[in-house]
Structure 1
Amino acid sequence: MRFLFTTFLFLLVICLFSCENKSQKQAKRPLSPELQKALADFEIAEDFEIELFAAEPLIADPIAMEVDANGKVYVVEMHGYPLEKSGTGKVKMLIDTDSDSYPDQSTIFADSLVLPTGIMAWKNGVIVTDPPHVWYLEDSNGDNKADIKKILLTGFALSNPQHNLNNPIFGLDNWIYMAHESSITPIIYKEEFGDEGTEIYFPNRPEPRLPQNANGRNVRFKPDTYDLEMLSGESQFGQTFDEFGHHILTSNAHHLFHEVIADRYLRRNPTLLVADATQSMPDHGDACEIYPITQNPEHQLLTDVGVVTSSCGVTWYLGGLFPEKYKNMTFIAEPVHNLVHADIIENNGTSFIASRAFEKKEFLASKDAWFRPVNFYVAPDGALYVIDYYRQIVEHPEWMAEDMGKSDKLYNGTDKGRIYRVFPKNTKTLPKFEPLTKLNDKKLVELLKSPNIWYRRTAQRLLLDRKNVEAVPLLKEIIKKNESAESVVHALWTLEGLEVFEEEILKWALKNENAGVRENAIKIVEYELNKKLKAGAGVTKAYVYQLLDIDNLKNDPSPKVRYQLLCTLGFFNDEQSLQVRNELLVKDIEDKWVHYAALSAAQGTEIEVFDFAVKNLTHQPSEGKALLFANVSALIGLGDDQEKISQLMQKIMQNPAQENAWWQAASLEGLSKTLAYKYRKSENGKNTSFSNSNIFENEKKLLLSNLGIVKTTDLGKAILNLLEIIGLPDANTCDPFVSNALAVLNDKNADEGRKALAIGLLALMQPEKYMSQIQQVINPQSPIDIQKIAMQALSKTKGTTVCSFLVQEWRNFTPEVKEEAIEVFMKNRERTFFLLTALERKQIPTTAIAWHNQVRLMNNDDVSIRKKARSVLASNESNKVEILEKYKNAFDEKGNEVNGLKIYNTYCAQCHQISGKLGKNIGPDLGTLRNRQPLSIALEILLPSNSIADGYEYWAVTKQNGDRIYGIISTETATAITLKDLAGKETVIPRNEIAKLSASNTSIMPTGFEQSINPQDMNDLVSFIKSYRE
């Protein structure tokens, strides 16, 4: 009885049960001077107050909390961060023994956890994520200790603690969702955090199983039915949902993004390559500027300062307590900058757009450099609880200066931790809280109407646990009364979880005035029908269409409802569903997600989609239409049906002489990209899969014959690109076109577009034979674009003869032409050595090699090239002490920003942007450095391998056919990864073509930059970086 009594007393904490308002209650609570100062250091939005809920010694190192149905509060403590794996993690229970609405005791509910990352109430206990396991913990005898400990899932990577499985949430659709991303490849702490995980599985079940570490994507599961799925997105630490179940994610500098297309839709068409299944939401961009107020901030060497860099704990506030103007608000914790950032969310087509809630200030910020918000919780009282890890250093030593990684400061604050409660000013007390487990079904169903997500979610979960059929009519009544959209969707999904599927109820929901209700009703129809089909039940498509009333829904005013209808109808490929698909494509053609949804269901009908697009979408060009033509053609090209590919080429080239050929060019480019993935050229330049001259022979002749009559250069280039992949027809067919190309090349009056196509054709024929004619075009009198095209043509020649020409004429080339010439040198191993020899002999100055090309040379996969490149380009590479000594006094005076811009454009812009501008988006945005100390910025630039920025590891992909592709992994989906190379070009690689994936242990930016930039120039560069604003 003592346990139940203290639990009930603690319920008063949750309900703020007092005749006084909150601020009066807090004022009477004695706090230590340290804690009083912590509260005084906050600046919070003017409509709100903040109070201390719990602090040390009750808790320490808190990273997550949960309140169960009986009001018991659990707090997860991660003491081991950043390096300790000996099992110091705990789950504590907080108790209020004196009824003052604040906990005054804590007890250890569970210990010996490694690096626990999240908690969720479930059944009579809690689910805790502690990689590699997902645990179920329960106190079965009332002593506040977990005596039941069961592994629900296992196999997740125990990687760097910032990148592990975390934050389980019970979703609206009755699945348990867990945030998760790829394990990282540590450079420094390989032994501690080099684990890459295994297959994911239920320990007591052989099936189902997910791939190793779930391919680094979010995971959802149902413990009772042993359902287990990967999702299409990934999230670093934290995840959230809006009231209608849209999944919102976060990751470091990318503080808000939405998983738009679900993995179950992508899986039904394995040939569809979607580079990224998520949509970035902020209108103020990723790595956006933020406004800390910290005094004496603790920023480490490799920390981005002044912009979002450590976003975590994303929470869509659904507590029902905040004023109306704060509806649809999300919060992210930014521990590095000691603040909480807020955004207001609005619908934007199939996704959302996020805008700053406050201009040039934050929702909550502290002057205290040790304030480390990492997570949030919306409790039964509707307040927002802010979980403060409270550490001196929150960065991981993997990305810190070496001395800090070994510093005693690393664990300063591990005996501390706070949880704050944020609520509107003048908040009065709320009704008395009752343990939900004591409520009957009627009262639980009534709680689905609550404005607070805690009550709705908990009541739904309890109703599913009970499985009482008596609740069914009550749930139906909720739907029919339609007092709020939130209550209706929870009632619908509770019925789904109880396996109640009634046509009448769904028809009510499908006609609801709220788009979120209609969208969820469509999902439930999809779920239920898939269940029936799996069970072998006979379900006619006519029944589905009648139930969905697709003639009405296809004209729904909400883009999200139309999109969900399109996704769901993709499981029924018949004439009626295809007709609706086509209508929705036309209606929402500018939305790429609509393309993906339609094409995910198009397997076997791609030609029909193309025909429809030609008939209905070619009259006026648009970006969305061109993208659709490219996507459909690419999808056909990835298939195994060569007859369909031939058919597509013929359809594209039916009328090449028309002015309105934009869609033909887009189609050929899309086809070229996917055929290039499938058919790589061999070392002798011949296409290995088209060595049989009969393959596409008619199409080759058709393409070549149309090259001379096209009216647009874009279409001509697209024809040449495709011919380069599939090969040329026989010599007799080609000869007349060669003669014509040579004539155009010698015609001074020929327009630039015709000359470009002529050069391109000669390069495809026998570039060695026509080398002298092509070389003659590379002169100052020729337009720069023609010179560049000619240089690209020369790269297709064999041997090193062309290299001699380049060295001889080097001084006569303009900078842009020199850049193309370097590409000619780097075409193969033999030419690369020719370049390095020319650099060594000073026939070409090392300053002519752009920095990203120096990266390519000094990190080359060929050991002999890499060794020679480092010898030539960084022969006098300095050590860290020498670099520090050389530059430490460079920043005594303000630098010249004008000269700094010139240096930036020369050395940095090839790989970096600054605040999203001025350069290529390959490496980290240098705008994130602007608030660091000048020497810190310089050392980051000069010692890049001191630590490799998270997300910018340089990867090598070995394909099944032996080809190797290099770059940064920019996105991952269920079916593919996307590599971005050092020129910014992205390559989508199907997962089933990957034989090996490995990361380099050195930065893509090599050392030795100190040989190219003196201290004064470095001061100018740093001054420019710190001063630049958009």
Structure 2
Amino acid sequence: MKVYIYIFLALIVFSLYQCQSYKKATTNTSVQNKPIDFNLASVVPADEAISKMVVEDGFEVKLIAAEPMVTTPVAMSFDNKGRMWVVEMNGYMPDTLGTGEDKPTGKIIILEDKNKDGVADERKLVIDSLVLPRAICLIEDGILVAEPPNLWYYELKNDKPVKRTLVDDKYAGEGNVEHQPNGLLRALDNWIYNAKSSKRYRKQGDKWLIENTHFRGQWGVSQDNYGRLYYNDNSSNVISDYFTPGFGSANKNQRGVDGFSERTVPNNRVYPIRPTPGVNRGYSAGILDDSLRLVNFTAACSPLIYRGDLFGSAFDFNAFVAEPSANLIKRDVLTENGYVVKGEQAYKGKEFLASVDERFRPVSLYNGPDGALYVIDMYRGIIQHKTYVTPYLSGQIKARSLTQPLNCGRIYKVVPKGKKTVFTNIPNDPNKLVELLGSSNGFIRDMAQQTLIDGKYKQAIPLLKSIIKQTSNPLLVIHALWTLEGLNALETNEVLALLKNTDWPIRMQTLAVLPSVINQSSYRYYIKALNEIVANNDELAAPYVAFLARYIKPFNETSADELLVNLVKKYPNSNFVSDAVISNLAYREESFKETIAKFEPDTNLRINKQLQSVITAFNNAQKNRDPKVLAKQYPKGSALFLSTCQTCHSADGNGIASLAPPLNKSQWVNGDKNTLLSIVLFGLTGPVNVNGHVYKAPEIAGDMPGIGHSEEISDEDIAQLLSFIRSSWQNNAGKVDVKDVVGVRQKFKSRQKAFTVEELESKK
């Protein structure tokens, strides 16, 4: 034992020495009122780092853990004991070339506060030798671990893995480190959701269910009190779904469904308190202001809906968003009107939390068992992945020695000043767990629900059934409902009664639970109930009824279609109802259009316009070339498209909202190959006109990064990539040779900046 103690103490001394050896002179105390040190890029010891932060009046930041207790943290989860399970992505970007990134240096650890002083004092290694792990989820007696390309489930005993099961070997099979699935959010509906993904997962006995939903987000995913999901991309503040996440994704011909991937907070302005030249496009006009501070989000991530009970009522239904490139955390205030959730920034000209420390990299935000806001600080100089690092950013990194050290990391929590925080213990007593389902802290409600389900506490069922008959605490009823769903204990008569509840959130959750309870013996009762909802003009419920027709169809297709027809008759101009109806009609759009034309012939109605749009898109897609044939012809190009381009431009080449415009039939792809090469090698700063439509932020990201500076991507790779793209879908352009790539690279060999459309057009 003494040997281990000596080793641990040695590690502490070494780590502190390594971090402090990079320390230079820094500004101190009142960072708001004193001049900002432009060169404040060296490591600030953890015990001083908080003094470099400015936080909202009335709040304070507390350090929970720092190196060597934790290094390069990127995600975490609390367990029932209040311990933090932390993902350490130690292999991320050791230098600007990503040297050694594929080494198995990642870890899952447990941090515990043994003496209850608010600071972690014990570190326990659970799993090591992982390659770039990125997300975890505790469930039953084990833990899900995302280690690209795989999703693993580790069964645990005494916090040690005893068995490993492969859940999904294609969890993160495409994209680079910045563009791979993550999150593993265990949501209200008992499914596990991800960002940068369309998959959801659920453990059912010894089996894992995998289903497709809507594609969403980039890094981080959160939920509100009603299980609706919130996410974003690196240029966007907050994006969200207005409806239950499992609905509306069944029609592959339908590119978008109203109420999903909605821009909840469109204002992307940020207010750093220090110059931030170290962003990838810092040289481009409009990226930095006159004081060299970032203007708009460029690395937005981990949007979190605050659901605690510690901050006060003004923070109910607030969102927090991390921006590691600008060393800050933003606060947004959300409001709800019917289905629509919208929001605005809480402040103008300042942020909830910001630091003058360039290495302060908040990458993940969490609600905690004490109601506090928890912040994962990766504490790295480099956060941009190698695929997109520009020479400009490489120069910034070199100028301020941002590469080293690699073994730092911090976890903070934000709390109101002078307010004592109390951890609520999650007991194993089923009656006490049921009581906690009504907690004012959403984190505690979630944990109580999950513990009841994981523990298979059947003895709690009678109490849960009694709760759903009362409505004095709607959130208690909602969690009891979903707990019963998770225990497979919901009965038809209970669901039918809740469908008549006057409280909309309870009705909404009951509609959302129907896919779990509809079966051969009960579907007739639900058909009747759904028809009554339509007849009673329940407009709030109408889109849900449309989504649910999909689950009626296996038992009675005629009744399912009658529901859809009745909804069209009542709401022909509703965006939400129309898209929900069409989500049921994969490969039946034309026949359904003919059916409703008998009573709704007006082509200007929303239902008819959207149906025609889907029909047209489907007909166009039939003309696409076979991607498997092209992949054989251009194997390197196909692989590079999957890892680098598809994540923004979509597998079908038609672009992804908020990320990138279409490649399919684009004049930029089918036109002059040297112009396209210029874009791919050096990047393009928007806005950009593609076939008559001008794409600009926030419809797409403001910039497309070039890949010409990546040492891992050869000229042959790029030639194959462009040959693949110029032959894919309905593109019909010529092949690109290696000599073409070499020629453009040589012509612009001294160029660092991305091109603008005006520059490219002037060169024609």
Give the equivalent residue in structure 2 for 1:965: 730
User: Residue 57 of structure 2: which of 26, 39, 46 is its match?
Assistant: 46
Cα contact 2:324–2:360 (8 A) shared by 1: yes
- Mapped to 1, the partners of 2:467 and 2:317 lie a distance apart of 24
Give the equivalent residue in structure 2 for 1:78: 89
Q: Which amino acid aligns with 2:412?
A: Y
Deviation of the 1:153 alpha carbon: 3.1
User: Residue 391 of structure 1: which of 365, 376, 380 is its match?
Assistant: 380
Q: 1:945 to 1:555 in 2, by over 3 A?
A: farther
Cα contact 1:610–1:633 (8 A) shared by 2: no
Indicate the percent of aligned positions where both proteins have the same amino acid.
26
Give the equivalent residue in structure 2 for 1:417: 409
Deviation sequence 1:508-565 (CA, Å, 0-9, x none)? 3223333222122112222211xx3xxxx44453x2233x353235546563x22111
Q: Which amino acid aligns with 1:273?
A: Q
User: Residue 592 of structure 1: which of 575, 579, 584 is its match?
Assistant: 575
Matches within 5 A, 1:352-391: 352-391=341-380
- Mapped to 2, the partners of 1:71 and 1:61 lie a distance apart of 21
Matches within 5 A, 1:907-946: 910-911=688-689, 920-921=694-695, 945-946=708-709
Deviation of the 1:241 alpha carbon: 1.4
- Mapped to 2, the partners of 1:853 and 1:274 lie a distance apart of 21
Work out whether 1:629 is the aligned partner of 2:608.
yes
Q: 1:369 to 1:72 in 2, by over 3 A?
A: same
| C-alpha RMSD of matched pairs (Å) | 4.5
- Mapped to 1, the partners of 2:68 and 2:203 lie a distance apart of 36
Q: Which amino acid aligns with 1:95?
A: E
Q: 1:563 to 1:955 in 2, by over 3 A?
A: farther
- Mapped to 2, the partners of 1:261 and 1:965 lie a distance apart of 34
Q: Which amino acid aligns with 1:67?
A: F
Give the equivalent residue in structure 2 for 1:196: none
Matches within 5 A, 1:715-734: none
Cα contact 2:185–2:192 (8 A) shared by 1: yes
Q: Which amino acid aligns with 2:187?
A: G
Looking at CA atoms only, which structure, 1 or 2, has the larger radius of gyration? Answer: 1
- Mapped to 2, the partners of 1:564 and 1:415 lie a distance apart of 49
Give the equivalent residue in structure 2 for 1:116: 133
Q: 1:426 to 1:923 in 2, by over 3 A?
A: closer
Give the equivalent residue in structure 2 for 1:777: none
Q: 1:393 to 1:436 in 2, by over 3 A?
A: same
Deviation sequence 1:242-282 (CA, Å, 0-9, x none)? 11111222221134223467897666555x33246774544
Q: 1:330 to 1:135 in 2, by over 3 A?
A: same
Cα contact 1:377–1:386 (8 A) shared by 2: yes
Q: 1:248 to 1:589 in 2, by over 3 A?
A: farther
- Between the two proteins, the alignment pairs up a number of residues equal to 639
Deviation sequence 1:61-119 (CA, Å, 0-9, x none)? 11112111122222211110023121111122223343323212323222111111112
Cα contact 1:231–1:263 (8 A) shared by 2: yes
Give the equivalent residue in structure 2 for 1:658: none
Cα contact 2:228–2:244 (8 A) shared by 1: no
Matches within 5 A, 1:21-32: none
Give the equivalent residue in structure 1 for 2:254: 273
Matches within 5 A, 1:900-911: 910-911=688-689
- Mapped to 2, the partners of 1:344 and 1:1002 lie a distance apart of 51
TM-score by length of 2: 0.73
Give the helix-richer structure, 1 or 2: 1
- Mapped to 1, the partners of 2:579 and 2:157 lie a distance apart of 49
Deviation sequence 1:992-1028 (CA, Å, 0-9, x none)? xxxxxx999999x9779989x9x9xx99x99xxxxxx
Q: Which amino acid aligns with 2:298?
A: T
Q: 1:921 to 1:228 in 2, by over 3 A?
A: same
- Mapped to 1, the partners of 2:608 and 2:179 lie a distance apart of 38
The alignment partner of 2:468 has SS state of helix
- Mapped to 1, the partners of 2:709 and 2:409 lie a distance apart of 31
The alignment partner of 1:480 has SS state of coil
Deviation sequence 1:826-861 (CA, Å, 0-9, x none)? xx9xxxxxxxxxxxxxxxxxxxxxxx97875432xx
Cα contact 2:241–2:261 (8 A) shared by 1: no
Give the equivalent residue in structure 1 for 2:430: 441
Give the equivalent residue in structure 2 for 1:843: none
Work out whether 1:569 is the aligned partner of 2:569.
no
256-265 or 224-233: which moved more? Answer: 256-265
Q: 1:45 to 1:267 in 2, by over 3 A?
A: closer
Q: 1:120 to 1:966 in 2, by over 3 A?
A: same
Cα contact 1:298–1:393 (8 A) shared by 2: no
The alignment partner of 2:548 has SS state of helix
Q: Which amino acid aligns with 1:89?
A: G
User: Residue 248 of structure 1: which of 201, 219, 230 is its match?
Assistant: 230
Give the equivalent residue in structure 2 for 1:745: none
Q: Where does the alignment leave 5 or more consecutive residues of structure 2 unmatched?
A: 1-42, 288-293, 626-664, 712-717, 760-764
Give the equivalent residue in structure 2 for 1:229: 211
- Mapped to 2, the partners of 1:449 and 1:955 lie a distance apart of 56
- Mapped to 2, the partners of 1:161 and 1:91 lie a distance apart of 18
Deviation sequence 1:191-238 (CA, Å, 0-9, x none)? xxxxxxxxxxxxxxxxxxxxxxxxxx3332325332111222132211
Q: 1:919 to 1:363 in 2, by over 3 A?
A: farther
- Mapped to 1, the partners of 2:536 and 2:330 lie a distance apart of 38
- Mapped to 2, the partners of 1:412 and 1:47 lie a distance apart of 35
- Mapped to 1, the partners of 2:311 and 2:738 lie a distance apart of 48
The alignment partner of 1:218 has SS state of strand
User: Residue 512 of structure 1: which of 496, 501, 505 is its match?
Assistant: 501
Cα contact 1:274–1:596 (8 A) shared by 2: no
User: Residue 220 of structure 2: which of 230, 238, 249 is its match?
Assistant: 238
Work out whether 1:170 is the aligned partner of 2:186.
yes
The alignment partner of 2:343 has SS state of strand
Matches within 5 A, 1:171-190: 171-181=187-197
Deviation sequence 1:553-581 (CA, Å, 0-9, x none)? 5546563x221111102444666654543
Matches within 5 A, 1:594-743: 594-602=577-585, 604=588, 606-607=590-591, 609-613=593-597, 615-616=599-600, 618=602, 625=605, 627-633=606-612, 670=616, 675=619, 677-678=621-622
Give the equivalent residue in structure 2 for 1:161: 177
The alignment partner of 1:428 has SS state of coil
Cα contact 2:187–2:227 (8 A) shared by 1: yes
- Mapped to 2, the partners of 1:588 and 1:278 lie a distance apart of 16
The alignment partner of 2:469 has SS state of helix
Matches within 5 A, 1:983-998: none
Cα contact 2:229–2:245 (8 A) shared by 1: no
TM-score by length of 1: 0.55
Q: 1:337 to 1:294 in 2, by over 3 A?
A: same
- Mapped to 2, the partners of 1:517 and 1:403 lie a distance apart of 53
- Mapped to 1, the partners of 2:696 and 2:163 lie a distance apart of 49
- Mapped to 1, the partners of 2:445 and 2:613 lie a distance apart of 45
- Mapped to 2, the partners of 1:1001 and 1:227 lie a distance apart of 49
Deviation of the 1:180 alpha carbon: 3.4
Cα contact 1:281–1:353 (8 A) shared by 2: no
Q: 1:377 to 1:675 in 2, by over 3 A?
A: closer
Deviation of the 1:484 alpha carbon: 2.1
- Mapped to 2, the partners of 1:241 and 1:267 lie a distance apart of 19
Q: 1:575 to 1:340 in 2, by over 3 A?
A: same
Give the strand-richer structure, 1 or 2: 2
- Mapped to 2, the partners of 1:486 and 1:965 lie a distance apart of 50
Q: 1:339 to 1:413 in 2, by over 3 A?
A: farther
Deviation sequence 1:642-668 (CA, Å, 0-9, x none)? xxxxxxxxxxxxxxxxxxxxxxxxxxx
Q: 1:909 to 1:177 in 2, by over 3 A?
A: closer
RCO comparison, higher one (Cα < 8 Å, 6+): 2
The alignment partner of 2:45 has SS state of helix
- Mapped to 2, the partners of 1:474 and 1:51 lie a distance apart of 39
- Mapped to 2, the partners of 1:456 and 1:302 lie a distance apart of 43
Cα contact 2:90–2:132 (8 A) shared by 1: yes
- Mapped to 2, the partners of 1:46 and 1:413 lie a distance apart of 33
Q: 1:590 to 1:126 in 2, by over 3 A?
A: same
Cα contact 1:301–1:400 (8 A) shared by 2: no
User: Residue 310 of structure 2: which of 298, 321, 328 is its match?
Assistant: 321
Cα contact 1:448–1:490 (8 A) shared by 2: yes
Give the equivalent residue in structure 1 for 2:274: 294
